Amino acid sequence: MDSPAVEVIDLVKRYGGATAVDGLTLSAARGAVTAILGPNGAGKTSTIEICEGFREADGGTVRVLGLPPSDGSLRARVGVMLQAGGVPPAVRCGEWLRLVSRFYARPLAPDALMARLGLTDHARTPYRRLSGGQQQRLSLAAAVIGRPELVFLDEPTAGLDPQARHACWDLVADLRTAGVGVVLTTHHMDEAERLADHVVIIDRGRVVAEGSPASLTGAERQLRFRARPGLALEELLTALPTGSAAKESPAGHYIIEGQVDPELLATVTAWCAAEGVTADDLSIERRTLEDVFLELTGRELR
Ligand SMILES: Nc1ncnc2c1ncn2[C@@H]1O[C@H](COP(=O)(O)OP(=O)(O)OP(=O)(O)O)[C@@H](O)[C@H]1O
């Protein structure tokens, strides 16, 4: 049987006295999209850069396509999109892509890839004159041009406009269809929910949850509405069946959890009416990945 695309066991990474990755274990399948989520400083980039062979681990085992990350044969088989830099400032966009393509035996056509990522009009623009989003798209193009078996994308859509974000999503979906393994980090929960087969949530250098987006969010539904901030939810709770929960998060956004049925809906709307409150945008929804993420990693800023 093939080894996983990426296998990380008990990974440890320290910077001076600080432990950034603290016994992290995860696995990413071939031909699937694995999203690594975590708050700022959780250890995502450290982990990914160790897998890419750019940083040394202080402990644990990492295998990429069954090989140690330092194995030279991986260069031709693995695509890497860095968070920033790596391109000479004066090189033109199209020139760079053609240059990178020459390192590979069966590269994609640079012009077609530029067209796909909206870079055709910038083919002759030097890297330093590209906007942040255009530089980002060029890095993405360079990561996939060699038809890799596996790509690492570190925050691929950070700073992209909605059009470019969708183009990136389409590209990732096509890579997956073509059997390419994709390991990406993102702060966009909707992106992970939309793209990923497998989500790994890490916090303080450790995995705190993993599974498919559906298994992480569960089947439970919630009642949500918007109203003026500061409603007396403890009062509402006394009218709801035992086991229900009500919270305001953020201010003016209310979430009621429990057995969401017509009776609960009627109780909540009747209570709102008695309070003289109109419940706006009332909806019954499943928990989102963002809800799960915040529950697991807390709300304090890092
Ligand atoms: N080269 C370095 N030297 C010292 N500390 C570092 C270095 N790189 C990362 N760190 C620290 O290690 C921890 C993990 O950083 P890392 O970049 O891996 O997190 P991350 O999850 O990718 O964060 P973000 O979401 O902000 O990109 C942070 O506390 C960071 O300050």
**Cα 144 to chain centroid, rounded:** 18
Domain containing 281 equals 219-286
Separation CA 89–CA 128 (nearest Å):
5
Tell the residue nearest (CA) to atom 30 of ligand 1: 41
Cβ of residue 217 lying under 6 Å from some atom of ligand 1: no
User: Are 235 and 204 part of one and the same domain?
Assistant: no
Q: What atom of ligand 1 comes closest to residue 38's alpha carbon?
A: 21
User: Are 190 and 259 part of one and the same domain?
Assistant: no
Q: pLDDT tens digits, residue range 57-75? A: 999 999 999 999 999 999 9
Distance in Å, CA 43 to ligand 1 centroid: 6
Average pLDDT (263-268) is 94
Distance in Å, CA 50 to ligand 1 centroid: 12
User: Are 224 and 100 part of one and the same domain?
Assistant: no
Task: Name the residue among 84, 119, 78 with its Cα closest to residue 98.
Answer: 119
Q: What atom of ligand 1 comes closest to residue 47's alpha carbon?
A: 18
Q: What is residue 286's predicted lDDT score, i.e. its pLDDT?
A: 87
Q: pLDDT tens digits, residue range 142-170? A: 999 999 999 999 999 998 999 999 999 99
Q: What is residue 84's predicted lDDT score, i.e. its pLDDT?
A: 66
Q: What is residue 160's predicted lDDT score, i.e. its pLDDT?
A: 92
Q: What is the pTM of this model?
A: 0.88
User: Are 243 and 263 part of one and the same domain?
Assistant: yes
Separation CA 29–CA 261 (nearest Å):
38
User: Are 196 and 147 part of one and the same domain?
Assistant: yes
Residue 203 in domain = yes
Domain count, the chain: 2
User: Are 177 and 255 part of one and the same domain?
Assistant: no
Task: Name the residue among 113, 129, 127 with its Cα closest to residue 79.
Answer: 113
User: Are 65 and 170 part of one and the same domain?
Assistant: yes
Q: Is the pLDDT of residue 1 over 60?
A: no
Q: pLDDT tens digits, residue range 192-210? A: 999 999 999 999 999 999 9
Of the pLDDT bands very low, low, confident and very high (cuts 50, 70, 90), residue 83 is: low
Q: Which residue from 46, 54, 188 has its CB within 8 A of the most atoms of ligand 1, so it is best to mutate?
A: 46
Tell the residue nearest (CA) to atom 1 of ligand 1: 15
Q: What atom of ligand 1 comes closest to residue 83's alpha carbon?
A: 27
Distance in Å, CA 162 to ligand 1 centroid: 27
* Residues near 168 by beta carbon (within 8 Å), at least 6 away in sequence: 117, 137, 140, 156, 157, 160
Within 10 angstroms of residue 302's Cβ, the number of other Cβ atoms is 11
CATH value at residue 277: 3.30.70
User: Are 70 and 151 part of one and the same domain?
Assistant: yes
**Cα 29 to chain centroid, rounded:** 16
User: Are 176 and 236 part of one and the same domain?
Assistant: no
Average pLDDT (207-233) is 93
Distance in Å, CA 20 to ligand 1 centroid: 7
User: Are 80 and 160 part of one and the same domain?
Assistant: yes
Q: What is residue 300's predicted lDDT score, i.e. its pLDDT?
A: 77
Cβ of residue 177 lying under 6 Å from some atom of ligand 1: no
Cβ of residue 146 lying under 6 Å from some atom of ligand 1: no
CATH value at residue 88: 3.40.50.300
Q: What is residue 10's predicted lDDT score, i.e. its pLDDT?
A: 98
Separation CA 61–CA 256 (nearest Å):
43
Residue 54 in domain = yes
User: Are 205 and 223 part of one and the same domain?
Assistant: no
Residue 302 in domain = no
Bond from prior residue into 250 cis (ω within 30 degrees of 0): yes
Tell the residue nearest (CA) to atom 27 of ligand 1: 40
How many angstroms separate the Cα of 200 from the Cα of each of 45, 53, 177, 184, 296? 14, 20, 21, 10, 12
In this structure, are residues 8 and 51 in contact, taking their beta carbons and an 8 Å threshold?
Answer: yes
Residue 18 in domain = yes
Number of H helices, E strands in the chain: 10, 13
Q: What is residue 82's predicted lDDT score, i.e. its pLDDT?
A: 73
Distance in Å, CA 277 to ligand 1 centroid: 45
Residue 295 in domain = no
Element housing 101 (H / E): helix 93-101
Q: What atom of ligand 1 comes closest to residue 155's alpha carbon?
A: 27
Residue 292 in domain = no
Cβ of residue 38 lying under 6 Å from some atom of ligand 1: yes
In this structure, are residues 254 and 225 in contact, taking their beta carbons and an 8 Å threshold?
Answer: yes
- Quote the crossing angle between the two packed helices 132-144 and 162-177, to the nearest 10°: 10
Cβ of residue 297 lying under 6 Å from some atom of ligand 1: no
Q: Is the pLDDT of residue 282 over 90?
A: yes
Last residue of a domain, one of 216, 244, 271: 216
User: Are 102 and 193 part of one and the same domain?
Assistant: yes
Which DSSP letter does residue 161 get? -
Q: What is residue 240's predicted lDDT score, i.e. its pLDDT?
A: 94
Distance in Å, CA 41 to ligand 1 centroid: 5
